[in-house]
Chain A
Amino acid sequence: MSGPTRREVFLMTGAAMVPASAVAQETPRRGGILTVHFATEQRILNPSLQASTGVYIVGGKIQEPLVDIDGAGNPTPVLAESWESTPDGRAITFKLRQGVTWHDGRPFTSADVQFTAMEMWKKILNYGTALQQFLTAVDTPDAHTAIFRYERPMPLGLLLRALPDLGYVSPKHIYEGTDIRQNPANTAPIGTGPFKFLQYERGQHIIAERNPNYWRNGMPYLDRVVWRVVTDRAAAAAQMEAGQILFSPYSSLALADLTRLSRDPRFAVTTRGNEGNARTNTIEFNFRRPELADIRVRKAIAHAINIPFFIENFLGTYAKPGTGPIPSVSTDYYTPGSPQYGFDRALANRLLDEAGHRRGAGGVRFSLRLSPAPWGEDISLFATFIQQSLGEVGIRVEIVRLDAAGFLRTVYNDHNFDLASGWHQYRNDPAVSTTVWYRSGSPQGAPWTNQFGWTDAAIDRVIDDAATEVDPAKRRALYGEFVTRVQNELPVWMPIEQIFLSVFNRRMRNAGNTPRWASSSWHDTWLAP
């Protein structure tokens, strides 16, 4: 490819929002209140119990993980100061930070890590239960050493990439001996982070204030963080313009408002700070429909949809064509050169003819029901685009719209769909939430897993081998093999890559400077006057 892509141009403009020289010269200013858009209210705020962006945006400032990701995308110490693995990958030792206290004054020790890992990550935390399924024990030889013992080898790279999201620590003394799911600290979290929980008014706001005993000296700079619950997207955009909200994370505004705000000099609309939160748009095929179990039909559907046209006209600079389940932001595991399906309507028609689906009355070959997931304007637009594109090659598509609970139940439990379209979230390592889309044997009702009726012994073996392969080079090769095979078989097509968008008020400094900034602790963030 010659010249920079749209995404690169976009990222460059994002990076240019605050000139690097200006940042270097400016001295951080203490004080101020950062107001944040909170679009979907959560049942709990404790990130040791629920792994989702809606929890990190609040809980991630109050509680801290063992490890985070730095600006260059590498694991960086937070509550763990260092780590090492035995060569067989069965014991991983974390040296914990000393002199850290919980917000209630008790010291943070290895017992907290042990309790959180065994009782929360392994038993309750979504994605944590799968990641830690072979964790047998956490040994605590002293107050600042935690040794994770695994029944099967745990690749250190996988654990370190998963822990920023799945490694938040909760206080043992608050949770021990209680019903963890009902503990009041779930909505009034107690952590070690730069901000202390103060107040949660349901439907209105959450307030956290500066932790004066924070272990990073002199931090945080902000006095308070206030999350305002605004469910109406147009209203949220208006509140940003009125200055009532300074930061809107995770693409929570309408596409039209994002375009408008990006032209306003007061705001920066950018993917910066979300590079660790990539997602791909999916087309999921139900193999229980005989037509879709035929590889020629799946390929024909892919060839019938003009992805670059759709992106150019509907998503603009905020998306780019995807090449498979592992998005290009994943520098470690992205595999270029896998089989691709460019727009070719003649080829699509030929494939459908070959598959024996002749055009009948009105030029229709057969009909399919398409269920778009209800999150994201882009999914809804994409569904309409798929409907029209497939109509051109003689496949009549009926769009079945459902709300969140209805979508999950209908698609992933009842399997009552032909095509489904939604998002796949890539969480920094394919083993966290990507390979489950392809691994067979996932129990019925587990959302965002292979519920398509597709089984492939070879892919299952590659996935299992990669999940326990401790040699990074071999792991990378296995994921290369994985991508090539699923792109050939196409049980799920992931043709669009997106990164969440943030809208920053330009008064914000040190904002978006790490790949998971929106989820991170904001200890060094400050506000210019």
Chain B
Amino acid sequence: MKLLALAARRLAASLPALLLILIGLFLLLQLAPGDTVDALMAQMGGGDAAIAADLRRFYGLDLSVTARLGAYLWRLVTLDLGFSAIYGKPVASVILERLPATLLLMMSALFFAFSFGMALGVVAARRVNQWPDTLISTLGLIFYATPSFWFGLMAIVVFSVYLQWLPAGGFGDVAMGYTGWAAIWDTATYLVLPVLTLALIFLAIALRIMRASMLEVQGMDFVRTARAKGLSETRIVARHVLRNALLPMVTLIGLQAGTMLGGSVVVESVFTLPGLGRLAYESVVQRDLNTLLGIVFVSALLVIAVNFVVDLLYARLDPRIAG
């Protein structure tokens, strides 16, 4: 019950920010030259002015900006995200179609980045300034410095084109029509490269944070006390150091869940995954305002949800924070 109240309070606190973001984005897109009919004309390769006027009426673009903004916000109150100009169906269903791929990609990448980042960070901290530390830190630097589109394309060239181990892109084999476990395995093979690509840069950040925070906690008084009690080194690291060193990591997860949603535009394009990032990009290019606002709305909700979970984790890791 207390949890629900907390969640409700969180959501209420985020609502004004969400509203401002949506209105700001709406107005910002009005400044971009051209509207969705211009984008459609470009795609069609031309058409006369009567067709354009007809289409503007069809998409409701003949109304004033304030009238359209008002109508949009009013629809939002009734939880109606409107109609997508590019896809010709309700925005909610367009987003719902794309959500699974995005969530799967994001969750897998987050999981991979933080579990391996944590492990590598711990190893590096325990062997600080020895060769494992140097190796891990150098690798981290390389991952951090490599742009993800380049890494993705190189991974495709090596693993798909030359070795032919993994598919080059897509989200499941459309021709074979797998079901059950075969389908899950099939999807997994398509996800390996994009997840690795997306995760590596975050892995690099995670391992650096983990290493630094491990080193910091290791020097604290309570660790010396634990050693004085005669606890084994493994037990000290697992029970005392790790738990305290995890706090900054959890903060990082909360921050990067948002970044990852946006950062996946590149990875989704390179690996041709049907995710939210590509949808957002397409909506900007095609000036599909309803879809774009819908994505921002859903992404904001996702980020709010992730941060809520992060808060709960804080309380679990450090009982002093819960209040």
> Which positions in A face B, CB cutoff 8 Å?
33, 35, 40-44, 50-54, 124, 126-127, 129-130, 181-182, 186-187, 201-205, 207, 224, 226, 228-232, 234-235, 238-239, 241-242, 244, 375, 402-410, 413-414, 425, 433, 442-449
- Measured between alpha carbons, how far is A448 from B38 in the docked complex, in Å? 12
Task: Determine whether the beta carbon of B153 is less than 8 Å from that of A446.
Answer: no
Q: Which of B48, B88, B156, B274 contacts A235 (CB 8 A)?
A: B156
Smallest beta-carbon distance A319→chain B, Å: 20
Pick from B27-35, B120-128, B218-226, B254-262 the stretch touching chain A: B27-35
**Number of residues in B with C-beta < 8 Å to the partner?**
53
- Measured between alpha carbons, how far is A88 from B322 in the docked complex, in Å? 90
> Which positions in B face A, CB cutoff 8 Å?
32-36, 38-52, 58, 85-88, 94, 97-98, 153, 156-157, 160-161, 164, 167-171, 174-175, 269-272, 274-275, 278-279, 282, 285-287
Task: Determine whether the beta carbon of A43 is less than 8 Å from that of B274.
Answer: no
List of B residues within 8 angstroms of A42 by Cβ = 43
List of A residues within 8 angstroms of B35 by Cβ = 405, 409
Q: Which of B45, B88, B161, B286 contacts A242 (CB 8 A)?
A: B161
Instruction: Supply 28 A–B pairs (Cβ within 8 Å), ascending by A.
Output: A42-B43, A43-B85, A43-B88, A50-B44, A129-B48, A181-B58, A201-B97, A203-B97, A203-B279, A204-B274, A230-B169, A231-B269, A231-B272, A235-B271, A239-B272, A242-B160, A242-B161, A244-B167, A402-B33, A404-B34, A405-B33, A405-B39, A406-B32, A407-B34, A433-B46, A445-B52, A446-B47, A446-B52
A-B residue pairs, 8 tightest by C-beta: A405-B34, A126-B47, A203-B274, A409-B34, A443-B49, A404-B42, A405-B39, A406-B33
Interface centre among B34, B50, B167 (most CB of A within 10 A): B34
Task: Determine whether the beta carbon of B175 is less than 8 Å from that of A33.
Answer: yes
List of A residues within 8 angstroms of B50 by Cβ = 129, 443
Task: Determine whether the beta carbon of B169 is less than 8 Å from that of A405.
Answer: no
Interface centre among B38, B58, B171 (most CB of A within 10 A): B38
List of A residues within 8 angstroms of B275 by Cβ = 203
Task: Determine whether the beta carbon of B33 is less than 8 Å from that of A203.
Answer: no
List of A residues within 8 angstroms of B270 by Cβ = 232, 234-235
Task: Determine whether the beta carbon of A224 is less than 8 Å from that of B43.
Answer: no
- Residue of B with least CB distance to A224: B175
List of A residues within 8 angstroms of B46 by Cβ = 126-127, 425, 433, 446-449
Task: Determine whether the beta carbon of A447 is less than 8 Å from that of B42.
Answer: yes
Smallest beta-carbon distance A47→chain B, Å: 11
Task: Determine whether the beta carbon of A239 is less than 8 Å from that of B169.
Answer: yes
- Measured between alpha carbons, how far is A228 from B157 in the docked complex, in Å? 19
Task: Determine whether the beta carbon of B88 is less than 8 Å from that of A228.
Answer: no
Q: Which of A40, A234, A406, A446 contacts B43 (CB 8 A)?
A: A40
List of A residues within 8 angstroms of B51 by Cβ = 124, 126, 129
- Residue of B with least CB distance to A179: B58
Knowing A204-B274, A402-B33, the reply to whether A52 touches B45 (Cβ < 8 A) is yes
| With A235-B153, A238-B157, A242-B160 already in contact, 15 other A-B pairs whose C-beta atoms are closer than 8 Å | A40-B43, A51-B45, A124-B51, A182-B88, A230-B169, A234-B270, A238-B156, A242-B167, A407-B42, A408-B41, A413-B38, A425-B45, A425-B46, A445-B52, A447-B38
